Chain A
Amino acid sequence: QSVLTQPPSASGTPGQGVTISCSGSGSNIGNNFVYWYQQFPGTAPKLLIYMNNQRPSGVPDRFSGSNSGTSASLAISGLRSEDEADYYCAAWDDSLSGRVFGGGTKLTVL
């Protein structure tokens, strides 16, 4: 059971927008930055969003992050087939004194 809770799956059609949620608590998302990663099968994850809503260079602005209280969201607009991947949120947890990941969300582009 992950400390951060994500839906196991999400889907959308090309051109649509989709939002992936990440639910935590006051000891993690409520008090610390949230990070998002994208992972394709058989490859290492890639940093997508840092410090809640910042994109590294090279990440399209179709990807955006936001926070509200003890929850965070990753929004993807203008879905493309190449966005089909697993997405993970992460944050520092004050109670555990460690970094925690969400369980991951598998995004399917129909």
Chain B
Amino acid sequence: EVQLVESGGGLVQPGGSLRLSCVVSGFTFSNYIMNWVRQAPGKGLEWISYISVTGRTNYYADSVKGRFTISRDNAKNSLYLQMNSLGDEDTAVYYCARDKDSSTWFDYWGPGTLVTVSS
């Protein structure tokens, strides 16, 4: 069974940092493109980052570019999101999501982890 489980969310002060993790099981992690998608309370979905199977190619939404860094450890079946210079606008549930292939996006999602930025 394919499973993705995020962790690392919590309360952080404005300007602070947080590192999210997503541990996967049930599939060969190193063969799949991975993403982070977030959803602010009561708002819609926002794609924020993509990482290739090797980790050498990354894309970011403009809203997080320069502040967030996506990475992966294929040996640990883990995806990460390092978030720096956090602001109120970063408060959201953060989901990790897998691409089945280059033409099939977000076929599996984790349950999400909540990040709250507040003083």
Chain B residues with CB under 8 Å of A35's CB are: 105-106
- Quick check: is A60 within 8 A (CB to CB) of the other chain? no
In angstroms, Cα B50 to Cα A97, docked, is 11
Chain A residues with CB under 8 Å of B32's CB are: none
Out of A39, A98, A104, name the residue touching B47 (CB < 8 Å). A98
Q: Kindly list the 7 A-B residue pairs having the minimum CB-CB distance in the complex, ordered from nearest.
A: A44-B109, A99-B47, A104-B44, A101-B45, A50-B104, A103-B44, A47-B107
Contact residue range for chain B? Answer: 20 to 34
Q: Of residues 82 to 104 in A, which have CB atoms within 8 Å of B's CB atoms? A: 86, 88, 90, 96-104
Q: Show the binding face of A for B, using Cβ within 8 Å.
A: 2, 33, 35, 37, 39, 43-47, 50-51, 56, 86, 88, 90, 96-104
Q: Of residues 61 to 109 in B, which have CB atoms within 8 Å of A's CB atoms? A: 61-62, 95, 103-107, 109
Chain B residues with CB under 8 Å of A37's CB are: 45, 106
Known contacts A44-B95, A47-B107, A90-B105; decide if A97 and B59 are in contact (CB<8 Å): yes
Q: Are B46 and A101 in contact, CB atoms less than 8 angstroms apart?
A: yes
Known contacts A50-B105, A51-B103; decide if A44 and B60 are in contact (CB<8 Å): no
Chain B residues with CB under 8 Å of A44's CB are: 95, 109-112
In angstroms, Cα B62 to Cα A48, docked, is 26
* Sample (17) of A-B pairs whose CB atoms are under 8 Å apart: A33-B103, A35-B106, A45-B45, A45-B106, A46-B109, A47-B104, A51-B103, A51-B104, A90-B105, A97-B59, A98-B62, A99-B35, A99-B50, A99-B59, A99-B105, A100-B47, A101-B45
Interface centre among A44, A56, A101, A103 (most CB of B within 10 A): A44
